[in-house]
């Protein structure tokens, strides 16, 4: 981890090619020490990108949202641990079996934390109703977080709006990682766009990083607010200093 980086801030490398991702990492330098790699970049760039980030001293949040039979989930978690990832996500809607399998597999890697995704930040109550779930998003998030804690997960992923209730439910020690954070009045580079809807990036339940941290989030995952900013380092520092 870089000494000058705020360990609570994870920058999402939501790109479709390795060169663009590595260029941003180089530009941020010591200002960031924790990166999220999701399915798009992992598929495009392969596991060597993760190895490279770890080799440079960065932490990697491998956001795989694993939702498979327990044996397959366990195998993927062990692969994430072998790459040196610091965190990996498993989908809590898969139930206690896959979460427990992930936790058990992660024991081989002391530095690997298993995070249970609750309700994807793009989903609303109507989306849950479409798949036969009558609970509100708030209710479903807390129900799944409770299951994750019982399965032994190190923490959960939820939107900034649920950070407070999640902290109250889970206590002081578990991780609460919040994607969907946005910066008001973001500056953007040429042809990047500056409208508020674009900044939300498809997240239906968003808020500022400062609100999420104040409510009890242990980490915030920031994407376009930094990666598409005219000055990514300045945008990242703005989050770190809290204004």
Domain edges within the chain:
9-241
Mean pLDDT of the region 190-209: 54
| The predicted structure's pLDDT at residue 123 | 84
Please give the backbone phi and psi of residue 209, each rounded to the nearest 5 degrees, phi first: -60, -35
Q: Which pLDDT does position 196 carry in this prediction?
A: 35
Tell which wins on pLDDT, 127 or 141.
Answer: 141
Tokens of 177: 């990682």
Alpha helices in the chain (DSSP H): 18-28, 39-45, 47-55, 70-83, 96-106, 125-130, 137-151, 163-170, 196-200, 209-215, 224-227, 232-241
The pLDDT of residue 195: 33
**Does the pLDDT of residue 103 top 70, yes or no?**
yes
CATH number of the domain located at residue range(s) 9-241 in this protein: 3.20.20.70
Beta-bridged to residue 157, according to DSSP, are 117, 177
What angle do the packed helices 96-106 and 70-83 form, to 10 degrees? 30
pTM, 2 dp: 0.90
Q: Are 115 and 154 in contact (CB under 8 A)?
A: yes
The structure tokens listed for 97 are 């079996």
pLDDT digits (tens, 9 = 90+) for 5-46: 999 999 999 999 999 999 999 999 999 999 999 999 999 999
| 165 contact partners, CB below 8 Å, separation of at least 6 | 138, 141, 142
Q: Assign 199 a pLDDT band (cuts: 50, 70, 90).
A: very low
- The answer, yes or no, to whether residue 112 has pLDDT greater than 90, is yes
What digits encode the pLDDT tens for the residues 130-159?
989 988 889 999 999 999 999 999 999 999
For residue 160, the model assigns a pLDDT of 92
pLDDT at residue 198 above 90?
no
- Please say if the pLDDT value at position 91 is more than 70: yes
CA–CA distance, 103 with 207 (Å, rounded to integer): 30
DSSP 191: T
CA–CA distance, 11 with 151 (Å, rounded to integer): 28
Number of neighbouring beta carbons within 10 Å of residue 197: 8
pLDDT at site 1: 45
Taking only the tens place, the pLDDT of each residue in 51-72 is 999 999 999 999 999 999 999 9
- Catalytic residue numbers read 65
Q: What is the pLDDT of residue 137?
A: 87
pLDDT at 164 over 60: yes
């Amino acid at each position: 981890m870089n000494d000058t980086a705020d360990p609570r801030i994870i920058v999402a490398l939501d790109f479709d090619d390795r060169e663009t991702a590595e260029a941003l990492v180089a530009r941020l330098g010591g200002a960031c020490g924790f990166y999220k790699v999701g399915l798009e970049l992992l598929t495009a760039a392969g596991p060597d990108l993760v190895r490279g980030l770890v080799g440079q001293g960065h932490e990697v949040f491998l956001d795989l949202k694993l939702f498979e039979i327990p044996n397959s989930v366990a195998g993927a978690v062990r692969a994430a641990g072998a790459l040196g990832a610091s965190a990996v996500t498993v989908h809590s809607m898969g139930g206690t079996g896959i979460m427990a399998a992930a936790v058990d597999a992660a024991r081989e890697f002391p530095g690997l934390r298993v995070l249970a995704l609750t309700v994807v930040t793009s989903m609303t109550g109507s989306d849950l109703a479409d798949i036969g779930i009558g609970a509100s998003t708030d209710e479903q998030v807390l129900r799944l977080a409770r299951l994750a804690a019982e399965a032994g997960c190190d923490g959960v992923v939820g939107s900034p709006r649920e950070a407070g209730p999640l902290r109250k439910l889970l206590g002081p020690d578990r991780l609460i990682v919040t994607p969907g954070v946005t910066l008001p009045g973001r500056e953007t580079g040429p042809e990047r766009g500056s409208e508020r809807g674009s900044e939300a990036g498809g997240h239906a339940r968003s808020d500022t990083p400062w609100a999420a941290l104040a409510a009890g989030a242990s980490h915030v995952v920031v994407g376009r607010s930094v990666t598409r900013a005219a000055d990514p380092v300045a945008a990242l520092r703005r989050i770190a200093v809290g204004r």
